[in-house]
Amino acid sequence: MPTLNDIYNKIDEIRTELDELEEMIGSYDSEDDEDPVEVTSILEITAVKANARCVRNYNAQGRPVMMIYPEDSAPVKDRIQYIIGTLVDVGPTIVKADGGAKFYSVAEDTIKNGVKVATPLFIREQDGKIKE
């Protein structure tokens, strides 16, 4: 059975963890971050080929670290690529990733080799433009 001192130590540990989480959230929501841009449209691919991206992990500030889907080192035949002129449903927000790059989230179902891709996909903002 834990002693009263053990319980107080555990409470102190939890408070420290909460303080660290609040600091992390505060740095993510800092004034230098832009508010998400509402996107309720179709993205027209303007790059010759745009690779779909997915989240590899998250940095210390909680921003996603992106990689080419399914992996950066995947053969081209295994990647999901959109060619110039392709129209893609995206939205509703732009995701600011590690390093400041911005990505549209793919809002439509993506099929690869006859199977729906369950992993959330993204397209770099620089690879397309919103159709108006």
What are the angstrom distances between the C-alpha of 7 and each of 2, 18, 47, 100, 110?
Answer: 7, 16, 58, 42, 50
For residue 38, pLDDT over 80 is answered with no
Per-residue model confidence (pLDDT) at position 32:
53
d(CA 52, CA 36): 20
The answer, yes or no, to whether residue 15 has pLDDT greater than 60, is: yes
Q: What is the pLDDT of residue 27?
A: 53
Residue 73, φ and ψ in degrees, nearest 5: -90, 5
Q: Mean pLDDT over residues 45-53, rounded? A: 97
Query: Is the pLDDT assigned to residue 50 strictly greater than 90?
Result: yes
Q: What is the pLDDT of residue 39?
A: 42
For the chain, give every domain's residue range: 1-33, 42-130
Global pTM? Answer: 0.69
Whether 16 has a pLDDT exceeding 50, the answer reads: yes
Average pLDDT, whole number, for the chain?
86
| Stronger pLDDT, 24 or 79, i.e. the higher one | 79
Give the helix/strand (H/E) hosting 130: strand 128-130
Give me the residues paired with residue 95 across strands: 103
Quote the percentage of the chain above a pLDDT of 90: 61
Residue 132 has pLDDT above 80, yes or no: no
Mean pLDDT score, 70-98: 93
Peptide bond into 2 cis (omega under 30): no
